[in-house]
Amino acid sequence: MNGWCGRLLAVDLSSDRIWVEPLKEELLQTYLGGRGLGVRLLRDSYHLDPFAPEIPLVFAVGPLCGTPAPTAARLAVVSRSPLTGTIYDCSAGGRFAWRLKSAGFDALRITGRSLTPKVLAITPQGGELLPAPELWGQPIGETVRVLSARGSVAAIGPAGENRVLFGNIMMGEGNAVGRGGLGALMGAKQLKAITVDGDRRCDVADRPRFDQARKDIMRLFRASPVIFGDLGIAEYGTPALVDLMAQRRMAPTENFRKTVFSRSGQYSGPAIRKAYQPKKDGCYGCPIQCKKSTPEGVPLPEYETVSHFGALNGVDDLRSIVQSNTICNQLGMDTISAAVTLAAWGELRGEFLHTEEVAPLLRDIAFRRGDGDLLAQGSARLAAHKGQPDLSMSVKGLELPAYDPRGAYGMALAYCTSNRGGCHLRAYPISHEILRKPVATDRFSFAGKARIIKIAEDTNATIDSLVACKFSFFGASLEEYGELLSATTGCEYDPQHLKSIGERIYLTERFYNQQNGFTAAADQLPERFFVEPGSSGEGIEVPPIDRLRFAEELEKYYRMRGLTSEGRFVDADFLEHQP
């Protein structure tokens, strides 16, 4: 078998048992890996409470991981989110995925709950559970330092230990398994960290074909201004978007009350470069190296983080923003959800946080002290608790990232149709609505957006299963990645076939959510976006979203998905017909 190992490492923390299970080739060919494989592996347990000991936490790599395929040294972590209650996956880079594959595993499935804190150490020979009482309570940096001799590390910080609902799992290199609180789920299992090391080579079935596809992809990367342009993400990281979002008047400001923050230039890509002289950093084998870190190796914030700890909270101090990022990384918390929750808190109390209040409150959230205990539950629970649920800027309980939906109507729709809640990456319409890739679309129009979003969701479900980085698709497409996959595995995959795999994955997730009680009512934006305008100016009008037009396009979307007008499955036995 090329591309896959055909093995899953199963760990039951309740009984301290570790064993290897075979993964059938047919299953791997059908679900690829990453998100698809993880979602499939949850078929018998998607209904479990996220904090139930029996719920599996799945780490799954993809068939391209371990090969020189650009941006494919990634994995997906899949379970049910304690924050949203939806099925949940998150893709992360670093070196952990590559090492897991090199240890000879396509997936790791962790169930049960340990009575005491543990570390799981994985090698090609299998796994071992080590006691880790001394690491419990330690921040990520210290945990990684202690464990780094054992290979790559994925760990939780105090936030995960304390079940902060947006607690992350952090990769040792600074990459986050973020957003949906899978760190809290890992904390509930009393699993502090996982280490992995391996040296297995990943063979490719057809090397000349692989090399040709790789060459084609690299040519497309070089042709993409977003990737390798003078002002692109390889140079400035994702904060390259700060200036663009300001110019487009869609930078969420003061809990989405406004869409322009006049002082955003203080934390733009060029401002970060000037202040920190960052070095290029990134995931294993990635040619883009979009991550930026200080010369001392401290990761610098991404676009979402600078914008939300900046504009969204009315903060213009770059040092404070970088500090917030570092605190979240060290304590293991999602920066988007943390910042949106702080902004909601600011609006609820009638005053946004002063710069000096941010860091202490972030620590209080991670350790669940004082007001932090309530904020640790995310903005939706916080706002509901305070009797003003409309002030949570979230969809399905997941806090919205830094693209105001009033400035991009495809994004507005995609936030709602996303199976994991308010996420920009499921359909990533920013690619065409803002970055003009592969072509530009009219960001202030709903025309045709339902179909575009549907196709993009299918495509991205595939990408998350390969597992490749979304940024690759500012240049390349499934055409080239299909070639890489075919060359790697020896099985033929073309874009149409791959999109059908993605469609199955998307529908499976939606079905899980439906069975867990989600209805069309959850496919809705916060009321603010339908009644309050954004910040118009400089010839750009940012009106509230037309509710009727939004509803029409959402209904079209349901039709295209084969769902009822209420967004429900016609076939109650949908899962039984899936491989």
Binding site for another protein (CB under 8 A): 216, 219-220, 222-226, 228-232, 236, 239-244, 246-247, 265, 268-270, 432, 434-441, 447-448, 450-452, 455, 458-459, 477, 479-480, 482, 494-497, 499-500, 503, 556, 559-560
User: Cα–Cα distance between 30 and 36 in angstroms, integer?
Assistant: 9
* Contact call for residues 185 and 179 (beta carbons, < 8 A): no
User: Cα–Cα distance between 560 and 348 in angstroms, integer?
Assistant: 39
Q: Which is nearer to another protein, 257 or 432 (CB)?
A: 432
Work out how close the CB of 504 gets to another protein at its nearest, in angstroms, rounded to a whole number: 12
Q: Which is nearer to another protein, 447 or 531 (CB)?
A: 447
Work out how close the CB of 65 gets to another protein at its nearest, in angstroms, rounded to a whole number: 24
Work out how close the CB of 517 gets to another protein at its nearest, in angstroms, rounded to a whole number: 27
Here the tokens at position 372 are 């932090």
Work out how close the CB of 247 gets to another protein at its nearest, in angstroms, rounded to a whole number: 5
User: Cα–Cα distance between 474 and 453 in angstroms, integer?
Assistant: 16
Chain-centre distance of CA 287, in angstroms? Answer: 20
CA distance readout (Å), 577 to 47, 383, 493, 560: 19, 40, 22, 19
Give 577: exposed, middle or buried? Use CB within 10 Å, 0-12, 13-18, 19+.
Answer: exposed
Work out how close the CB of 401 gets to another protein at its nearest, in angstroms, rounded to a whole number: 18
Q: Which is nearer to another protein, 102 or 264 (CB)?
A: 264
Work out how close the CB of 28 gets to another protein at its nearest, in angstroms, rounded to a whole number: 22
* Contact call for residues 60 and 76 (beta carbons, < 8 A): yes
Residues 6 or more apart from 297 whose CB is under 8 A from it? none
Interstrand relation of 75-80 and 57-61 (parallel, antiparallel or unpaired): antiparallel
Work out how close the CB of 515 gets to another protein at its nearest, in angstroms, rounded to a whole number: 26
Chain-centre distance of CA 358, in angstroms? Answer: 24
Q: Which is nearer to another protein, 154 or 430 (CB)?
A: 430
Interstrand relation of 107-111 and 7-12 (parallel, antiparallel or unpaired): parallel
Q: Which is nearer to another protein, 8 or 217 (CB)?
A: 217
Work out how close the CB of 17 gets to another protein at its nearest, in angstroms, rounded to a whole number: 43
Q: Which is nearer to another protein, 111 or 431 (CB)?
A: 431
Q: Which is nearer to another protein, 266 or 392 (CB)?
A: 266
Q: Which is nearer to another protein, 103 or 501 (CB)?
A: 501
Work out how close the CB of 474 gets to another protein at its nearest, in angstroms, rounded to a whole number: 10
Secondary structure E strands in 282-346: 291-293
Q: Which is nearer to another protein, 183 or 269 (CB)?
A: 269
Q: Which is nearer to another protein, 340 or 452 (CB)?
A: 452
**Residue 262, number of CB atoms within 10 A of its CB:** 12
Of the candidates 330, 354, 332, the residue with the CA atom closest to the CA atom of residue 342? 354
User: Cα–Cα distance between 427 and 560 in angstroms, integer?
Assistant: 15
Of the candidates 362, 253, 352, the residue with the CA atom closest to the CA atom of residue 312? 253
User: Cα–Cα distance between 563 and 376 in angstroms, integer?
Assistant: 35
Q: Torsion angle of alpha carbons 96, 431, 166, 307, nearest 10°? A: 110
Work out how close the CB of 480 gets to another protein at its nearest, in angstroms, rounded to a whole number: 8
Q: Torsion angle of alpha carbons 78, 127, 176, 141, nearest 10°? A: 150
